[in-house]
A and B are shown apart, each in its own frame.
Chain A
Amino acid sequence: MELLTPRKRLSFTGQGADLFAVLIVNWLLTLITLGIYYPWAKARRLQYYYEHTELDAHPFHFHGTGREMFIGFIKAVGLIALVYAVFFGLLRVKEVWAVVLGYALFFGAIIAITPLIIHGSYRYRMGRSSWRGIHFGYRGELKELYSICIRDGLLTLVTFGIYGAWFQMNLRNYVLGHVRYGNSSFQYKGDGTEFFLLNLKGYFLTLFTLGIYGFWWQRDIFNYYVNNLSWNFSEGRRLQFRSTATGGGFFGLIVGNLLLVIFTLGIGFAWAQVRMMRYVMTNVEMVGDADLDAVVQTEQEHKNATADELGDIMDIGIFL
């Protein structure tokens, strides 16, 4: 029976030396242009990763260009500068109400900007990704995202972080549930209670085993992310994602990478990245009866990279 189920596999074909060349040249050019090259460097890096990630032996492609990310970068910098200008402007007033208002606006802006970053980044990254000439897309509503973030954010606050597990799952369900590939779409079915218990168990076992269980905790989280994801096609056909990652595998990956980076004084970073990508990609498979040839192009182009760059500047890792 197992043999009859068709599987689709992901793979990573990048090589450490090639990635190293890409990264070191990026670093050099960013340095000598005093950081202006950063968006182009980012485009090169992403293109390398996408081009060397294959599904069913066909590569993905990242269409983003340094130019459009640069424009996004400038806009993002302008926005940040505006927030700071208002903040410091109010502080200069030297009145209690102005200082309070300044801080309120400043932190308010940071909190309000986060859903915007998630929404915009997904729109941009998905819109600029393709496989076999068909583009991905993100069709979530900003309004919905805000209501999830405000409601769950407040709940997380009043429960001292405990509700965070449910918050994370609701966010994931919503965002991944609105990712599309042509006329097919993705679905994530995460459950807050399950995710909370998984983390609770992971936390205490890691504590009791002096950190050793951490690798198995990592595996549980990874599996929870992968196994609840599915890909739905027309006529009710679907592919279910499956993880084959193991705690031992994560142990070898993480410890190996740590040693690799430390003993090469950081130069081995590219090779460590390749090891990680390979491990992740070879341990994700898709099972089901869907026909990958039958997807039709539906998504629009989206070239606004502002949110993506804003996320970079504020160092918010938004890719769930």
Chain B
Amino acid sequence: MSTAYPAHFYDGLTSKPKEAFVRLREPDALEVEVSGSNGTNGDRFFWPLEHGGMEWERTVSTLRITFGEYPRRVIISRDKLFIATFVKHMQYAGRRGVYDRVLSLARKGPFFFLLGLIVLIVAGYFWVLPFTAERMALLLPLEVDRQIGNASFGSVMLGLDEDSARSVVLQRFGDELELTDKFDLRFHFVHSDQVNAFAMPGGDIVVFSGIVNGMEHHEQLAALLAHEATHVDERHSMRMMVRQMAGYLSLSMLLGDVNAVVAVLVENADNIRNMSYSRNLETDADQHGMERMAAAGVDPQGMVQLLELLEAETDEVPGALSFLSSHPLTEDRIAKAQANTTKNSGPFSTDPELERLFDSLKAK
């Protein structure tokens, strides 16, 4: 004989609440006894707990059980003992959802829960998110790189003075090296004093005369092209873009994109993280560029020489700022490239064809 607990019963027909007593009946039913009004006999019925039409919800202080088709009959109990007994019964039967578990966790220690959440989110932002973004970027078809590159190439080349005759020579130089089979590389030679070169997604590589004129060996040019070709081949721009988009989107989703202040914060927070990523990409392009050189039969030592040239030409960022620098300190890169030369050891011979092309590029 189980205990009867007081509750309210609403019959779904009128708004009149009725006093009732409820008790759990073995094996799996709820007995509801509604007291009659003004001395009339009450009503008594059983609700099977397994029944699909039976639903229950509890809040901290009330338990609500409903039964049947619309309009549903409702039992509301605020009896602590009954709530505990009923909930326990339902839990033993395995009818407690994941949601209730998480909720009770949050209710027991709200601040620890919040702290744990923050840790989880930070971890997700710094590790899970970049990882997933990278995977997603690599899943995109190569055609996307080509289209994005083509779309922006025109505006990038505006105002740049391309030397089409030398571009043809540079193209032959690049083709000799066979740097990638994923993309068709298109090389462009541009007159400018800047000691620089860059690659667009999809295969356009632009080399400034300023950097070529400073070179002494054709291996340096090979190193430069191999470095840029690595950016293209490993789709660094694409990966960077997807990472930035994912980072920006998730941060603004997290913070609700409330206002301009937050937008600025979000942007900068993401930039700082991405700077160190782009440093890694440069080192990566150095390392893999050297492998490409070795595969083409060019001495990878050229990479070290190229970086030494860069170091001599550029104003170095003070060491204290190196963490935030988008290009790694050239000395760092030289040291890494130097260490890498032993991995790709020769013997290498100078290629007379490359030497000839290199000379005709430089000659004035």
Contacts and interface: CB of A to CB of B under 8 A. Distances in A.
Contacts of A59: 62, 76
B114 interface: yes
Contact of B60 (A15, A20, A24, A293): A15
B14 A297 contact: yes
A25 B15 contact: no
Contact of B16 (A20, A29, A294): A294
Contacts of B106: 20-21, 24-25
B73 A21 contact: no
Interface string A177-217: 00000100000000000000000000000000000000000
Contacts of B103: 21-22, 25
B64 interface: yes
A182 B15 contact: yes
A18, A35, A295 interface centre (most CB from chain B within 10 Å): A18
Contact of A133 (B15, B62, B102, B254): B15
Nearest to A184: B15
B7 interface: no
B12 interface: yes
Contacts of A154: none
Contacts of B253: 31, 35
A280 B361 CA distance: 81
A18 B17 contact: no
Nearest to B117: A28
Interface in B14-52: 14-17
Interface residues of B, number: 33
A67 interface: no
In the complex, which range does the number of interface residues on chain A fall in?
35 or more
B57 A47 contact: yes
B71 A135 contact: yes
B53 interface: no
A145 B333 CA distance: 70
Contacts, number: 88
Nearest to B75: A133
Contacts of B10: 132-134
B354 interface: no
A283 interface: no
A135 B11 CA distance: 12
A292 B15 contact: yes
B110 A20 contact: yes
A132 B66 CA distance: 12
A54 to B, nearest CB: 10
A140 B70 CA distance: 22
Contacts of B71: 133-135, 297
B114 A294 contact: no
Interface string A54-66: 0000110100000
Interface in B105-128: 106-107, 110, 113-114, 117, 121
Contacts of A131: 15
A106 to B, nearest CB: 23
A259 interface: no
Contacts of B64: 51, 61
A134 B14 contact: yes
B14 A293 contact: yes
Contacts of B117: 24, 28
Contact of A24 (B14, B15, B16, B110): B110
A289 interface: no
Contacts of B349: none
A138 B221 CA distance: 77
Contact of B61 (A13, A132, A292): A13
Contact of B13 (A29, A44, A297): A297
Contacts of B288: none
Given A18-B60, A47-B57, A51-B59, A296 B14 contact: yes
B74 interface: yes
Contacts of B70: 301
A17 interface: yes
B8 interface: yes
A29 B254 CA distance: 12
A17 B60 CA distance: 11
Contacts of B17: 58, 132, 293
B253 to A, nearest CB: 7
Interface in B148-186: none
A267 interface: yes
B15 A134 contact: yes
Interface of B: 8, 10-17, 57, 59-62, 64, 70-74, 76, 99, 102-103, 106-107, 110, 113-114, 117, 121, 253-254
Given A21-B113, A132-B15, A296-B14, 15 more contacts: A17-B107, A17-B110, A20-B110, A21-B106, A25-B106, A47-B57, A51-B64, A59-B62, A134-B14, A135-B71, A293-B16, A296-B13, A296-B15, A297-B13, A301-B70
Ranked nearest first, the 9 interchain pairs of A and B with the lowest CB-CB distance are A133-B10, A21-B106, A295-B15, A293-B16, A21-B107, A132-B15, A134-B15, A133-B12, A133-B74
21 contacts: A21-B110, A21-B113, A22-B103, A24-B106, A24-B110, A24-B114, A25-B102, A28-B102, A29-B99, A29-B102, A31-B121, A31-B253, A31-B254, A35-B253, A51-B57, A51-B59, A58-B76, A133-B10, A133-B72, A297-B12, A297-B14
